[in-house]
Each structure stands twice: as C-alpha cells, then as structure tokens.
C-alpha cells in the first residue's frame, strides 16, 4: 500500500471543486486555460486529472465555459468533438496539428492579492 501525502479530505475535495468551478467561470471568451493551471490555482498542482473529473461530474459545470479548458499542449478533450467548434465560434485559432494556439489564447488567472 502506498502512502499518498497529498490525498484530500472530504472538506478539501469540496473546496477544490468549488475553487475549480470558480476559476473556470472566469475564463474569458476567446481564451483557454489548462487543467494544470487550474489545479495549481486551486492549491493542488499535482491534481490536474481531478480538474477534468470535477468538470465532468459536477452538475454545476454544465453552465460554465468548460470548453475553454484544454491540456497543456492545447489538445481538446478526447471524445468531445463539439469543443473545437465552440472554441472556434469564440475566435480561438488552432495550429496545423489540431491544437489550440496556446501562445495566442492562453489565459492565466490574475494573482490573488
């Protein structure tokens, strides 16, 4: 059995979910951010996969711009073909390899004061 020092308590998991949803709600139209950036801003930098699970399984996420979250390379979510269309409708451009042009469209939250 492994010891996971960064395992969340139920309260931490609830706070993480709330933080993730709050961050996603702030992503401006025409920009994207990554699962890793969101995880880091939520205080759990090694939990980028949990950001994806949070967005997939939280009923509140339906009303958020989840399509603006991509992986660090700018790849869209596998199995969600509509994501690219939604991003293109907002003016997000893609490179020849099908990834979001991260240099042009990457958004990072403002530092907290």
Q: Which of 55, 64, 66, 69 is catalytic?
A: 66
Average pLDDT, the chain: 92
103 or 6: which leads in pLDDT: 103
Instruction: Identify each DSSP E strand in the chain by its residue range.
Output: 33-34, 69-70
66 belongs to the catalytic site:
yes
1 or 20: which leads in pLDDT: 20
> Model pTM?
0.90
What are the φ/ψ torsions at residue 92 (nearest 5 degrees)?
-70, 130
- Closest by Cα among 9, 27, 11 to 38: 27
Residue 112: pLDDT band (50, 70, 90) is: low
Percent of the chain at pLDDT exceeding 70: 92
Report helix, strand and coil shares of the chain as percent, to nearest 5: 45, 5, 45
- Sequence-distant (≥ 6) Cβ neighbours of residue 90 within 8 angstroms: 29, 30, 68
pLDDT, one tens digit per residue, over 30-63 is 999 999 999 999 999 999 999 999 999 999 999 9
d(CA 41, CA 43): 5
């Amino acid at each position: 059995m492994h010891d996971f020092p960064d395992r969340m308590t139920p309260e931490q998991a609830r706070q993480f979910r709330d933080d993730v949803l709050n961050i996603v709600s702030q992503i401006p139209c025409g920009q994207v951010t990554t699962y890793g950036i969101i995880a880091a801003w939520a205080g759990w930098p090694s939990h980028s996969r949990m950001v994806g699970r949070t967005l997939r399984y939280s009923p509140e996420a339906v009303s958020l711009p989840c399509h603006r979250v991509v992986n660090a390379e700018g790849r869209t979510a596998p199995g969600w073909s509509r994501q690219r269309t939604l991003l293109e409708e907002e003016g997000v451009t893609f490179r020849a390899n099908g990834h979001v042009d991260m240099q042009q469209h990457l958004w990072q939250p403002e530092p907290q004061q």
